[in-house]
Structure 1
Amino acid sequence: MRPEEGHVLHFSEDPTIRRFVPHVAATAQQPEPYVWAVDAARAPDYWFPRACPRAMAWVTGTTSRADRERILGPGGGERVHAIEYGWLEAMRTVRLFAYRLPADRFHPFGGPVPHAVVATEPVEPLGPAEPVGDLFALHEAAGIQLRVLPNLWPLWDTVIASTLGFSGIRLRNARPRP
């Protein structure tokens, strides 16, 4: 589930949203209200239950061969996502939806490589919420490794000290460090 040309996506477990209004998220690090969405490159970051902590890493133009082999493994593809065992059932059963939104209403957020797009005015979806479907199948079809770990922190600490690109979402919901 990725956006088509001219669209961005907002993922939600709520299939009834008719209008997205800018707001300051509870976890925001900035005071400005936004409507949040993602482009095709960052859509896989949200193929999870909303509250699920996840550690993600991917190959960039500056990734060393040693880091790629050490973290992704031989034949490991370009990207890995990891969750904890405690979230496995939620991954299997969540009903996740995607809203298609007009890309021209959004601008990149976060840099130097943006991790999202934001709008500062209300935005109406281009149609009804679409079921995302099987999250495991999405990962498989995209060639993304999906790891299930007892604890995310050892992988996270390795990834952030590497030459891979990375993102951690909802890590405050992860188990405590061992």
Structure 2
Amino acid sequence: MRPAPGEVLHFSEDPTITRFRPHVAATARQPGAYVWAVDHARAPDYWFPRQCPRAMAWVEPATTAEDRAWLGAGRVHAIEIGWLSRMRTTRLYAYRFDAGAFRPFGDPPHAHVATEPVDPLGPPEPVGDLPALHEDARIELRLTANLWPFWRRVTTSTLAFSGIRLRNAMPEPD
């Protein structure tokens, strides 16, 4: 599930939203009110239950041979094994938007934001089988007992990485 050219997506477990209004997210690190969306490259970051903690890493041109070998795949999304059942059963929906209403956010950009209310281009689309999406996109879905060892390794590597909802992860092991 990715946006078509000229579109961005917002993923939600709520299929009843008809208009998206800018708001300050509870987890926001910036004060602005936004409607959040993602492009083709970042859509896989959201193929998860909303509250699922995930650590993601991928190879980029500057990645060393050692880090490529350690990762073992072009892109890996790691979750704690306790979330697997929810990965299999969560009903996730994608809302499509005209990308013209959004601007890139972050340096480098990792999302797109709108500062005015926006209406989806149509009804939300069921995303379907979340593990199968990963498989079809050739993204390794890695199960771990605890995310922190994986996260600590990728954040000190030459890999590109992103972490979402890490506050929901199990406590770091001793």
Fold in common (TM above 0.5)? yes
Matched to 1:9, the amino acid is: L
- List per-residue Cα deviations over 1:56-115 (Å, max 9, x = no partner): 000111111110101x22xx2x1000000111110010000000011000001010x111
* Unpaired stretches in structure 2, ≥5 consecutive residues: none
Matched, 1:44 2:39: no
Structure 1 vs Structure 2 CA RMSD = 0.5
Q: Which moved more, 1:59-68 or 1:10-19?
A: 59-68
- List per-residue Cα deviations over 1:30-72 (Å, max 9, x = no partner): 11100000000000000000000000000111111110101x2
Q: Which runs of 4+ in 1 moved over 4 A?
A: none
Q: How far, CA to CA, are the matches of 1:63 and 1:118 in structure 2?
A: 29
Matched, 1:81 2:77: yes
> Of residues 115, 123, 128 in structure 2, which corresponds to 1:128?
123
Matched to 1:37, the amino acid is: A
- Matching residue of 1:15: 15
What is the TM-score normalised by the length of structure 2? 0.98
* Unpaired stretches in structure 1, ≥5 consecutive residues: none
- Matching residue of 2:97: 101
Q: How far, CA to CA, are the matches of 1:64 and 1:93 in structure 2?
A: 37
Matched to 1:16, the amino acid is: T
* CA positional deviation for 1:160: 0.2
Aligned counterparts, 1:1-178, within 5 A: 1-70=1-70, 72-73=71-72, 76=73, 78-111=74-107, 113-178=108-173
SS in 2 for 1:89: helix
Percentage of matched positions with identical amino acids: 71
Q: Which moved more, 1:61-70 or 1:30-39?
A: 61-70
